[in-house]
Amino acid sequence: MGSALDRLKKSVSMKPQRKSVELPDGSEFEFFAPPITLAQRAKAQKQSGSDDATSFALVLLSMVATDESGQKLFQPGEIVELKNELPAAVVELLLLQLLSESEEEEEPTDMKSTGKAAKG
């Protein structure tokens, strides 16, 4: 029998998950991020240098967000630009997606509810 830790590790996937947000111009912005570990959270909190949740999340975004091929999308130096040169609503959508559960898990539920509505 495996240990409790082995069982927990086998039950999860640490593969990057697709995340996306709709931008104000109607286009889609796609990025990939693995599930966030406690170590990554602690590192982002330390690097942010403050208790501000937005600063923490922006550091985390720069640490883990990649494109489909695994290339980092944001560099640590771009955090200031993300804060100052984009509307808060756009940046907050990115951060909410980063910290949310996988959207792939939600899709089947949406399809079922659409099917029920069509029958009703």
Q: What residue type is assigned to position 7 of the chain? A: R
CA angle 68, 74, 78 (to 5 degrees): 165
DSSP state of 15: S
Q: Residue 1: its pLDDT value, please?
A: 60
Q: Is residue 32 part of a domain?
A: yes
Q: Residue 50: its pLDDT value, please?
A: 86
**How far apart (Å, rounded) are the C-alpha atoms in residues 81 and 113?**
40
Contacts of 105 (CB under 8 A, 6+ apart): none
CA angle 28, 30, 35 (to 5 degrees): 140
Q: Is 78 exposed, middle or buried (0-12, 13-18, 19+ CB in 10 A)?
A: middle
pLDDT tens across the length of the chain (120 residues): 679 999 999 999 999 999 999 999 999 999 999 999 999 999 999 999 988 999 999 999 999 999 999 999 999 899 999 999 999 999 999 999 999 875 444 333 333 334 444 444
| Domain enclosing residue 74, as ranges | 14-100
- Total structural domains within the chain: 1
Q: Is residue 4 part of a domain?
A: no
The CATH code of the domain that includes 46 is 3.30.2220.20
Length of the chain (residues): 120
